Amino acid sequence: MSINLRTVYAFAREMYPKTSKETIQYGTAGFRGKAEFLDSVMFRMGVLATLRSRYRGGSVIGVMITASHNPEPDNGVKLVDPKGEMLEASWEAIATDLVNVSDQELEQQVAKIIKDNNIDVTTSSQVFVGMDNRYHSPRLLKAVADGVIALKGNVKEYGIVTTPMLHYFVVAANTKEAYGKPTEEGYYEKLIKAFELLRNGRLENGNYRNSIIYDGANGVGARKMLQFIKRMKGSLNVTVINQGIGVGKINEDCGADYVKVQQRPPKSMPEVEPFTRCVSVDGDADRVVYFFTDDKGEFQLLDGDRIATLVAGYLMELVTQSEINLRLGLVQTAYANGASTDYIVDKLKFPVSCVPTGVKHLHHKALEYDIGVYFEANGHGTIVFSDNAKATIAQAAETKESAKTLLLLIDLINETVGDAISDMLLVETILNHKGWDVQDWISSYNDLPNRQLKVKVQDRNVIETTDAERVCVKPEGLQSEITKVVANYKRGRSFVRPSGTEDVVRVYAEAATKEDTDDLAYEVGLLVQKLAGGVGPELTKPNSAHL
């Protein structure tokens, strides 16, 4: 099989010319931006995915078209490596270079990637492509497919799927179906079978009630939840709101990010009884948060930190009951609420690691444990099990019921990536087994009030951090000033980090009271403005007696 690289250039020039001169960078979320500027990016990612597949000996590579929790006019693309993980870091730079060259330089750039990585272009390649339900996704999917075809690769189009489903398909295919069947039905079947075996016919238990309100963010997660319901034989009663079918825009006034950031239910939330269990996913269903309204009408959030503590505690119980010796660990970022960390360390006695923000850092660290739990506060996370853990649990399951439960949990969990639906079914399983409702769950510890600010600066690169972003090393003197300010507040904690995408510095603060938290965030924000080249108006001072 011979490949003429002129075909790539001709395709690009005639059908997918580069229309934007702005440099874009491949980050944790891949490439994101306004959909009208992404056709050339998509075509080139199809080309890159084909090369990556050949580089990895013909393994399946995934391409997911989504902008996740971004507004509907945006779209994006990210590549999925053979084990379902994020694209290898060294290839992020290759991707960035490839999408930023001019159409005239494209042929030469592709030839350079082939030469630098010693890729045999005569071998076969396989690329799986999925998309969310944005109106421009089908057009962008065709661009990816054409990029694959331009280099004579094989492409399989899955149409509208969640991001975690595409990750599952890639792993299932690359493990010769040991992980499951690489089909939509195979995905439903694997999760539902494990969920229903774990429920074992006991749909209600103690304070747990078998019904839930599910906010689908008008995204693909709503459509797929409706498919789950059809197949679940009443094992969970789910009412889906924000279905996105004919009405409502993706993530607009709904979804996990809206609920987490605004600290309120979706705008279209129906009236429900106090303490009704509600769940929100984001646009591509890789984040999940729970919430409810109490009997005083106050909104209460159960975010990724809460899910992590619930899961960690339950797994520890099962491992202890199974009398097996495994290394357990929970991975957090600096954004994890200090109260959750205290609860995990002091009450659960569960080892905790802190890593920089970003899923790839969390996933990588979790792999160091036999059972690694990671969740970001935004609701993105999963649990990974080592081969040693799986073998040890399987052996113990011959005689221990608790180990049998662990084996079923492994099937219920999508280890490849945060999966909102899989994570929700896991939470429902744990609450059912414990006989808990949301009141029992939230009462395990009290969150510290926290506040986040964005401070505009001339150049975000003046901020450098260490110790998993908890300590600022540049500009000199900023950290010592932050430390002095924090010392004035009971249970105070604050850190600053540069944004990955814009010239702003993000400030996080928490303290014993909401007033103290607002004041601490303000004081640290002022320090950033003063010592890190702040631009724009000075931060507004909160009305407080502390300052």
| H-assigned helices in 248-303 | 255-262
Q: Which residues pair with 64 in a beta bridge?
A: 78, 130
**Cα separation, 243 vs 216, whole angstroms:** 6
Cβ–Cβ < 8 Å for 9, 107: yes
**Cα separation, 139 vs 14, whole angstroms:** 16
The three-point CA angle 325-328-334 to 5° equals 165
User: What's the sign of the alpha-carbon dihedral 441, 447, 449, 450?
Assistant: negative
The phi, psi pair for 494, rounded to 5°, reads -155, 145
Binding-site residue ranges for Mg(2+): 68, 282, 284, 286
Strands (E), 336-438: 352-354, 371-375, 381-385
Choose, from 40, 53, 68, 340, the residue flagged as catalytic. 68
**Cβ neighbours for 189, distance < 8 A, ≥ 6 positions apart:** 180, 181, 231
For residue 1, give Cα distances in angstroms to 8, 111, 121, 153: 16, 16, 8, 11
**Cβ neighbours for 301, distance < 8 A, ≥ 6 positions apart:** 259, 260, 263, 289, 290, 291
Binding-site residue ranges: 68, 282, 284, 286, 376-378, 497-501, 506
Cβ–Cβ < 8 Å for 266, 250: no
Residues for the chain: how many in total? 547
**Cα separation, 52 vs 114, whole angstroms:** 10
Q: Which residues pair with 227 in a beta bridge?
A: none
Give the CA dihedral 404, 406, 410, 415, nearest 10 degrees. -170
Cis status, amide bond into 475, omega within 30 of 0: yes
Residue 473: both structure tokens together: 């090393």
The three-point CA angle 101-102-104 to 5° equals 120
Quick check: is 68 catalytic? Answer: yes
Tell me which residue has tokens 């439960």. 405
Binding-site residue ranges for substrate: 376-378, 497-501, 506
Active site residues: 68
